Structure 1
Amino acid sequence: MKIRQRLALRFMFVSALITGTILIIIYFFTRGFVHADFIDRLTQQSSLEVLHYASPQVRDVMPSGTFNLVNPSISIFSESGTLLHRQGDFHIPDTWVTFLKTNDLFNAERGEYSTVGRKHVINGNLYLIFVSDKDLPGERELNFLLRAIIAGWIISLVLSYLTGLYFSGNALQPMKHVVNEVNQITQDNLGYRLKMDKDAASVDEIDELILTFNALLTRIERAFITQKRFVQNASHELKTPLTAIMAEVELALARDRSMEEYRRTLHVVLQETERLASTTQELLLLARLEERAHKTELDSVDVIEVLDRTLASFSLHHPEREVVKEGKTSAVYIQGNAQLLQTAFLNILDNAYKYSNDKIKITLTSKPKEIAITIRDFGIGIPSSELNQVRSPLYRGSNASTIPGAGLGLSLVDRIISVNNGQFEIYSEEGKGTACVIKLPVI
């Protein structure tokens, strides 16, 4: 069932409930009024009938049909309860007579009959009079009213449903426009945006939907561009070492070489193979982090110990590079993944080694709920216009094209720190160096 029909049915249901409640209230109020009016006419008829009985001359002045009763039954009793006069077929029980002796008023309903009993004193004599009758005109009026109410209620249901269809159709008309525009969007025109007929100061819910959808399209377009650039860069990074390997092998096979030349060729092939393997492993790790971001197991980890192990491994491979560590040295525990954190630290240190020839400075700053680890180099830095892009996979700074690398290091660090519930910040000035700050919540 479409939204338009659901809205129309809900509108019909609410209208039916409200209209039905009002009509029921009207019916019962009318029924009560009709019954009260009938009792009042019976009471007035009782006064008239006792006058007719005690003073017959009144009958000529006020006939019995004055109060619009159809076929009233009249019973007149003396003060002692003796039946003095009866007209009609309705029989008055003795209990009613006994009750009226000690009370001034009596009202009762039995079957279709309504009965009133009153005391009247005429010429010094006390009379007990009962008047009973069926309110046939009132019942006819109430039955007609009930049929009119039911018919009106049914008609109101139909009208409310049709009205609901009309107004919901008008309200949802802009949605059809949105759907038609969305259907025009394909992977070839992701730059297309839905149009709004109003300015931003008077937007309604449909306009908010359009704005939200346009924002979503912008994110999707950026994701497609990033993915396209990633594929292009990945292809280039994987193709470059393969091309170098093929060139060296073809050159070696072109003619006989000396043992030294073969050694040089194998050394180049080994270097390019290691480069290819490193790039592939980093790509796989990045893809794994993206896929299992919410499933990575985090344990209680001493981040200082992880950093020290990383520094020991780094110094083993680069003993010539000075690393200065300042700040807290005692254990600091976080909820994280030690292996991933070590990979992040090592990537930053490798970047600092590649892009500078000076010392590397590490500063630890501890707060009650956070520890900040700053790794600073004093190398070529990153152009300010490119700081927002260096976290993208396979992106390399314009001033780093001559230095070997795949452009995956900082994107891996950014994802790893995010998985460990931390923050990764980069501060850099071209020609003066770069500072990478890792902030992790302590436990």
Structure 2
Amino acid sequence: MRIRNKIVLIFVVVTAVTLVMLSVFIYLFSIRHAHRYFYTRLKVRASIALHGYLEEGQSEGVLELRERHLQMLPDEREYIVRYDSTTRQWKGNALPMLSQTFYAGVQESGYAEWDNDFVHYVGVNDATAPGVISVATARDDEGAVQMQSLLNLLMLAVVFGSVFVFGLGRLLAAQIIKPVSDIIEEVNRISASSLDKRLSTAKGEDEIAALAQTFNSMLDRLHVAFQLQSNFISNASHELRTPLTAILGESDVTLSGERSCDEYKKSIQAIRTEAEKLNDLVTSLLQLSQVGFDGKRQMLEPVSVDLLLMKIKNEINKRFPNNHLHIELKDVPENPDALVLMCIPTWMELALLNIVNNAIKYSDNKDVLVTLSATEHELSIRISDLGIGISETDMKHVFELFFRGSNSQAYVGHGIGLPLADKIIRLHGGRIDILSRPNQGTTVVVNFNRNQIRKR
């Protein structure tokens, strides 16, 4: 069933049930009021009849007063019922439908009432004559007609009200669903070749606008992903082709004729150098792909970041024996858990190692300071160097895969390390901020919100 029809159906059912319940309440209240009013009229007649019976000398005056001021009711009758002490029953032969319980109620409380459809009976007695009861009965034709008219009117109100609500519901449902229909129509016009289009209904503060805004955000991410994929394929092809071309060219030159032993060694060394570049590139690409594919399957573990930085320091000592890397703790709380981060240890080590390695490499092994600070909710790692820096133009592209700054061409690299580190850190709920000026050094600040990591 379409959502529009569901809305109309729910709207009609709720309204119809409400109307029926309201109609039942009105009808029951009205019929009770009608019965109560008619009982009051019968009580007056029964009291007058009892008074006329008990006071025989005044009976003619009472009857005259009754005929002058009281309207005759349909099938109106009054009866005097006496108690037979012999049989211990009330003798009301003319009223066989009334039970002894009715008479007992009159005798006990002085008043009782009973009805059979719209034929009403009222009994009264007087304390001065405990063995005598006056019973008045009549048929409430007017009340029956009024109640039937009210019932018909309420039934028509329910039917016509439901029909009206059905039409109104279709109109309102169409207005409610229209933004969704517009979204469906616009989405159907968006394809892989037109991911730059956006939904025009993403304005406002209602749920439909929020849905359109969410979809537009998803389109933004898809658009970026498609662009990155396209750039990745072209750049990866170029990066892989460069060492392969060098290896093939060197091999062809070497095999084109007889060479001396030194020339063969030189050629093999050149091939090995290019092969190592190719191996580093493939390894980096594999690491990047593993982060993308395995991110949801890896389990977070508590890791002490200060110990992780010391491990990175040992690794840097192996790569650069004469390095000037310094690690400093700053504004760290006494609680040792303040330096604990929930992360995937191998990935976090890889990300921070890439950043520190870049700081050493692009500063020509000058001083590099790693500062670790923490608060109750945030942990910060600051890596500062005195290297070549990054220009303002290049800063916009530092996280793009295979991008290398205009002043970094003299250094060996593939432009994968920083994008890989950024991806790992974002997967852990962190962010990277970079401050840099050409020839004045670079500062990379990595911040983690531990509360966000716990929720992942």
TM-score (norm 1): 0.83
8 Å contact kept, 2:404–2:415: yes
8 Å contact kept, 2:371–2:383: no
Q: What is aligned with 1:179? A: 184
Cα distance between partner residues in 2 of 1:374 and 1:5? 59
What is the CA-CA distance between 1:407 and the residue it aligns to? Answer: 0.6
Q: Deviations over 1:376-431 (max 9, x none)?
A: 33221111233343123222223223433111111122233344555433221112
What is the CA-CA distance between 1:35 and the residue it aligns to? Answer: 0.5
8 Å contact kept, 2:118–2:141: no
Q: Choose from 64, 70, 74 the match for 1:70.
A: 74
How do 1:72-221 residues align onto structure 2 when only pairs under 5 Å count?
Answer: 72-77=76-81, 88-90=94-96, 96-97=102-103, 100-101=106-107, 103-109=109-115, 113-119=119-125, 128-135=133-140, 137-195=142-200, 205-221=207-223
RMSD over equivalenced CA pairs, Å: 3.9
Distance 1:173 1:98, change over 3 A: closer
Cα distance between partner residues in 2 of 1:371 and 1:208? 33
Q: What is aligned with 2:31? A: 31
Could you list the runs of 5+ residues in structure 1 that have no partner in the other structure? none
Cα distance between partner residues in 1 of 2:175 and 2:346? 59
Cα distance between partner residues in 2 of 1:68 and 1:12? 47
SS of the residue corresponding to residue 238 of structure 1 reads helix
Question: Identity over aligned residues, as a percent?
Answer: 27
Whether 2:391 is the aligned partner of 1:383: answer yes
Distance 1:43 1:270, change over 3 A: same
Out of 384-393 and 265-274, give the one that drifted further: 384-393
TM-score (norm 2): 0.81
* Aligned AA (1:361): V
Q: Choose from 367, 389, 400 the match for 1:392.
A: 400
Cα distance between partner residues in 2 of 1:88 and 1:121? 24
8 Å contact kept, 1:70–1:136: yes
Cα distance between partner residues in 2 of 1:102 and 1:419? 87
Whether 2:432 is the aligned partner of 1:427: answer no
Q: Choose from 224, 232, 235 the match for 1:233.
A: 235
Out of 430-439 and 99-108, give the one that drifted further: 99-108
SS of the residue corresponding to residue 351 of structure 2 reads helix
Q: Choose from 359, 365, 374 the match for 2:382.
A: 374
* Aligned AA (2:371): L
Q: Choose from 413, 417, 425 the match for 1:417.
A: 425
Q: What is aligned with 2:350? A: 343
The count of corresponding residues between Structure 1 and Structure 2 is 438
8 Å contact kept, 2:107–2:130: no
Q: What is aligned with 1:263? A: 265
SS of the residue corresponding to residue 194 of structure 1 reads coil
Out of 105-114 and 306-315, give the one that drifted further: 105-114
Q: Choose from 272, 275, 280 the match for 1:273.
A: 275
Q: Deviations over 1:45-84 (max 9, x none)?
A: 3245457765358767865996453334532146999999
What is the CA-CA distance between 1:117 and the residue it aligns to? Answer: 1.7
8 Å contact kept, 1:48–1:64: no
Could you list the runs of 5+ residues in structure 2 that have no partner in the other structure? none
SS of the residue corresponding to residue 424 of structure 1 reads strand
